[in-house]
């Protein structure tokens, strides 16, 4: 009896060592799989064969990993990597965004953080103010205790970014990235979620053309990628209609102008654009609702009667497009799409699911700033 | 006798047909070779073998092509494609350049046209005024009678170019391109000759750092590629010294500002940059001599004592850097290098010689605007 008891105890002991050893081996396999974009563990049968262990040992090891939150079993399908660490408090996602208080940002942040919470990832928000200098300070701090992933709205995204040294260092520490709204041209092959700006701009321009406008101007952001893309959609649509746009009809502003507009309501650059670029135009494609909102004020000051003297279209469908003075024809997304997609794409990477990029389409919402009666008046 | 004469005449007649036929075949081969980047015809022996003709026929055909200017024989080496057409008046190269009257342009144009003339290519100069609308008008005209090659200084080269439809149509008509000073990011794989702006900017920034400056600002062109590259060289050099540059210390101007500066001496944008970007700086990296020249005037107006209150470095080493008010530390090329290289690269393409790109290095020329005694004064 004594011998038999001892034998059983010894057997249990070896069993325990075995499945813990296997669990450790599988933890390493999970890391390797995620790197190689494999989301699913081998079948129980395959694990038995590969590691020369019994079905029971495999099941015990998989149960342990499930309890730790590293995998989830799906009935009849197998064991899938969840993207979580054994320690849930390590599952931090950092969000670098230019603003959190204004315009589209509170909504986008809600969507990102809500989605992350749903999948048990916590998040910290860092405000870059659209400045690469702030971005650098934040990335430097993050590098000392890297989060599992970072969702980044690039700062001055159309310029060569000076912080790629830090982005690359974070990548080496296994940190994953998703770019939001834009990406850096000199830091390619990173997943991103952004608007389909080219097609949006084409839609808006075609709408203005369909209303009979031929002399259409544009106002775009010169140092973010969205500006360049919206410009390109506008220019190529006009060109394809046999109406190439004189360079003087396009007005440009930069991050510095935008900052002064938001902080001091300094509309100096818009006053110049009204004078230098829009004089010969009957319609204008605006970078976004905010620019259009302040442009309306400038046009009124300059004696324009709106909407008759100048049709205006913009991007973002924010509260600024529903102002009492004049409602704005603007492009819109399905609600929540962008932020939700960004959060999902960072989690998918942690799970080992391959992600590339997503371009969210725009839908045109015609409102008061583009009256339909132009052709009748001509 | 009669028969023999007849026989000889008949023989001569067939000989003549044969070598003319071979010359025609070789004219086609030359076109194919140039497309496949092959500059040299097969040896006489190989031509005999390939076309089942005598050495004499081959030599007569090659002599004809040499007389036509299509090939040149090099003693002991073989027959090389010259890049010329049979009709010398077809050997036109178009030059699209933003300006021909001012600054670096007369010199660059001289170098291009002189080199083309030397190799018996004629050229027509077209002025784009750095406007894609003008560029489009010129390309449309050229498309109706395409030149053999076009040397293009891109207009607003950092923006998506709206004329790629015409560039591609000209390519289909066998027209070759070389970009000069810049290139279009959305029209890649075209040979180009430009300055090594990144390294130039690094040199200049390192020089200012070596003089003890730490708070260095920059002024750059926002819509041409050189602006972005010079900005990048500046930003990364500062960063590598542990002195990342606050975004507010970089001032930007665009083609519209530059146009108003040249036409109306409108320095409004420089006045703003002095106020908003340079206040905390002791030195500044300027996009080029012209900007630096007008900046000196603005700084004087704002009460700066130069060169002590602000060291200034720039690019291009033009006459503007030797002004009597203050000579400018500036970056310089070997004379004639850029224009000569552009002309050679277009001819090489016509000859079937593979070309890729050339980045011309800069050399720093320290002058009065960066006094050496800063460290002593501190």
What are the strands of the beta sheet with B192-195, ordered from one edge? B122-127, B92-97, B149-152, B176-180, B192-195, B357-360
pLDDT in tens, A116-136: 999 999 999 999 999 999 999
User: Which of B201, B220, B247 should one mutate to test binding to chain A, selecting the residue with the greatest count of A CBs within 10 A?
Assistant: B247
Do residue A228 and residue B162 have CB atoms under 8 angstroms apart? no
Terminal Cα-to-Cα distance of chain A (whole angstroms): 108
Nearest CA in chain A to B132: A247
Quote the DSSP letter at residue A247.
G
Do residue A246 and residue B131 have CB atoms under 8 angstroms apart? yes
B273: closest CA of chain A, how far (Å): 10
pLDDT at B16: 77
pLDDT at B87: 84
Residues of chain B above pLDDT 70, percent: 96
B52: closest CA of chain A, how far (Å): 53
Quote the DSSP letter at residue B146.
-
SS3 content of chain B, % helix, strand, coil (to 5): 50, 15, 35
Q: Are strands A92-97 and A78-81 parallel, antiparallel or unpaired?
A: unpaired
Contacts of B159 in chain A (CB under 8 A): 228, 231-232
**pLDDT grade, residue B4 (50/70/90)?**
very low
| Residues 6+ away with beta carbon under 8 Å from A264 | none
Nearest CA in chain B to A129: B247
Nearest CA in chain B to A161: B232
Element (H, E) at B270: helix B268-276
A2-81 and A89-195+336-360: same fold? no
| Residues 6+ away with beta carbon under 8 Å from A63 | none
**pLDDT grade, residue A102 (50/70/90)?**
confident
Q: What is the DSSP string of B336-375?
A: THHHHHHHHHHHHHHHT----EEEE--EEE--TTS-TTHH
Do residue B247 and residue A165 have CB atoms under 8 angstroms apart? no
Q: Is the pLDDT of residue B176 over 80?
A: yes
The CATH superfamily label for domain A197-333+363-377 reads Response regulator (3.40.50.2300)
- Top-confidence residue, A353 or B86: A353
Beta carbons of A50 and A42 less than 8 angstroms apart? yes
Cα–Cα distance measured from residue B205 to residue B211, given in angstroms and rounded to the nearest whole number: 10
Q: Is the pLDDT of residue B340 over 80?
A: yes
Beta carbons of A179 and A154 less than 8 angstroms apart? yes
User: What SS3 class is residue A211?
Assistant: coil
Q: Is the pLDDT of residue B10 over 80?
A: no
pLDDT at B11: 65
List beta partners, residue A127: A97
Buried b (16+ CB within 10 A) or exposed e, A238-276: bbeeeebbebbbbbbbbbbbbbbbeeeeebebbebbbee
User: Which of B98, B132, B154, B162 should one mutate to test binding to chain A, selecting the residue with the greatest count of A CBs within 10 A?
Assistant: B162
**pLDDT grade, residue A76 (50/70/90)?**
confident
Contacts of B224 in chain A (CB under 8 A): none
User: Which of A169, A219, A247, A260 should one mutate to test binding to chain B, selecting the residue with the greatest count of B CBs within 10 A?
Assistant: A247
B263: closest CA of chain A, how far (Å): 14
Of A131, A159, A244, the CB nearest to B231: A159
pLDDT in tens, B220-231: 999 999 999 999
Nearest CA in chain B to A260: B276
Of A132, A165, A254, the CB nearest to B252: A254
State the ipTM, two decimals. 0.91
pLDDT in tens, A334-362: 888 999 999 999 999 999 999 999 999 99
What are the extents of the domains in chain A?
2-81, 89-195+336-360, 197-333+363-377
Q: Is the pLDDT of residue B292 over 60?
A: yes
**pLDDT grade, residue B326 (50/70/90)?**
very high
Mean pLDDT of A280-295: 97
> CATH second-level architecture of A89-195+336-360?
3-Layer(aba) Sandwich (3.40)
Residues of A with CB under 8 A from a CB of B: 131-133, 136, 155-156, 159-160, 162-163, 165, 185-186, 222-223, 228-229, 231-232, 235-236, 239, 244-248, 251-252, 254-256, 276
Q: Cα–Cα distances in Å, from B323 out to A150, B115, B288, B327?
A: 51, 31, 14, 6
Cα–Cα distance measured from residue A270 to residue B314, given in angstroms and rounded to the nearest whole number: 30
Q: Cα–Cα distances in Å, from A243 out to A215, A224, A378, B255?
A: 8, 26, 19, 22
- Domain A2-81 matching CATH 1.10.600.10: the answer reads no
List beta partners, residue A149: A93, A176
* CA atoms within 13 Å, Cβ hemisphere of A41: 33
Of B155, B162, B251, the CB nearest to A236: B162
User: What SS3 class is residue B151?
Assistant: strand
Do residue B276 and residue A256 have CB atoms under 8 angstroms apart? yes
Contacts of A235 in chain B (CB under 8 A): 132, 160, 162
pLDDT at B323: 87
Cα–Cα distance measured from residue B136 to residue A249, given in angstroms and rounded to the nearest whole number: 15
A109: closest CA of chain B, how far (Å): 25
Mean pLDDT of B107-133: 96
Of B136, B223, B247, the CB nearest to A131: B247
């Amino acid at each position: 009896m004594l011998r038999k008891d001892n034998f059983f105890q010894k057997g249990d002991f070896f069993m325990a060592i075995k499945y813990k050893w296997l669990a450790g081996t599988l933890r390493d396999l999970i890391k390797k799989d995620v790197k190689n974009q494999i989301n699913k563990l081998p079948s129980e049968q395959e694990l038995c064969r590969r590691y020369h262990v019994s079905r029971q040992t495999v099941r015990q090891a998989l149960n342990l990993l499930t309890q730790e939150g590293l995998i989830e079993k799906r009935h009849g399908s197998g064991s899938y990597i969840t993207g979580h660490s054994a320690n849930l408090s390590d599952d931090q996602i950092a969000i670098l965004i230019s603003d959190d208080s204004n315009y589209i940002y509170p909504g986008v942040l809600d969507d990102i953080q809500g989605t992350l919470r749903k999948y048990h990832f916590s998040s910290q928000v860092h405000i870059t103010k659209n400045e690469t200098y702030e971005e650098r300070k934040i990335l430097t701090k993050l590098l000392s205790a890297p989060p599992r992933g970072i969702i980044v709205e690039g700062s001055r995204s159309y310029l060569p970014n000076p912080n790629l040294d830090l982005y690359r260092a974070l990548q080496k520490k296994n940190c994953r990235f998703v770019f939001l709204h834009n990406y850096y041209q000199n830091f390619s092959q990173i997943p991103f979620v952004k608007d389909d700006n080219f097609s949006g701009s084409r839609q808006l321009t075609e709408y203005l053309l369909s209303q009979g406008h031929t002399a259409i101007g544009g106002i775009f952001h010169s140092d973010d990628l969205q500006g360049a893309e919206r410009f390109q959609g506008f220019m190529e649509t006009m060109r394809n209609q046999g109406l190439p746009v004189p360079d003087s009809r396009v007005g440009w502003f930069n991050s510095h102008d935008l900052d002064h507009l938001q902080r001091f309501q300094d509309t100096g650059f818009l006053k110049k654009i009204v004078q230098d670029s829009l004089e010969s135009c009957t319609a204008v494609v605006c970078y976004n609702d905010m620019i259009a909102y302040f442009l309306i004020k400038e046009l009124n000051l300059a004696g324009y009667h709106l909407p008759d003297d100048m049709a205006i279209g913009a991007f973002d469908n924010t509260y600024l497009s529903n102002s009492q003075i004049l409602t704005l024809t603007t492009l819109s997304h399905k609600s929540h799409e962008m932020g939700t997609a960004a959060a999902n794409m960072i989690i998918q990477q942690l799970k080992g699911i391959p992600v590339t990029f997503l371009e969210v389409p725009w839908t045109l919402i015609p409102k008061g700033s583009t009256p339909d009666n132009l052709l009748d008046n001509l």
